[in-house]
Amino acid sequence: MKLLEDRIRKEGKVLPGGIIKVDGFLNHRVDPALMKDLAKEIHRYFPDEGITAILTCEASGIAFGEACAEEFGVPMVFAKKAKSDNIEGGLYQSQIFSYTYKKTVTLIVAKDWLNASDKVLIVDDFLANGEALRGLVEIVRQAGAELAGIGIAVEKGFQPGGKKLRDQGIKLHSLAIIESADENGITFREEC
């Protein structure tokens, strides 16, 4: 998606370790108009899937997830990374390794919010190694729900997450796929 690629080129930064910093518009300070445009593109790719819920991960996936939920006209559920006192009843849980925080965390979704009658679209702001998405797919399966697919804002094509998910036969669409990123700049895959 050219709009997103242009924004990454203009405002994104490459940090050591292949970290792409886009927190000025995507996942710390959020541009709501951009989120709406990204959500419309995700909806264009998954137009008639019968989706009943959007699932994402706290915290940086929430803004993109909410925009997608609004575009699809369905609720958004986000997996928490810690159990709080206000979560009652049964839980779906999946342990993942967080690339950003370099530690294992447990994703948690209350069983009240996903079940076998749901058709779920998972969305997230970034796809790198795919651990968060693996955990979200596991939660959808624990719920007995149907996975419609995965929509991603930015995929790091030079890391293995996207390939792993596609190799499982999961319908995955990324709005921008970064092929390489270093001190010389960012290169995008031609077809997304």
| Domain residue spans of the chain | 2-188
- Do residues 71 and 43 touch, judged by C-beta distance below 8 A? yes
Largest CA distance in the chain: 51
Reply yes or no on domain 2-188 having CATH 3.40.50.2020: yes
The pLDDT profile of the chain, 192 residues, written as one tens digit per residue, is 999 999 999 988 888 877 888 998 998 899 999 999 999 999 999 987 799 999 999 988 999 999 999 999 999 999 998 766 556 668 999 999 987 778 899 999 999 999 999 999 999 999 999 999 999 999 999 999 999 999 999 999 999 999 999 999 999 999 999 999 888 889 999 764
The residue with tokens 């950003």 is: 100
Q: Identify the CA nearest to 146 among candidates 188, 180, 110, 117.
A: 117
What tokens were used for 178? 């970064």
H-run or E-run covering 137: helix 131-143
- Measure the CA–CA gap between 4 and 148, rounded to whole angstroms: 23
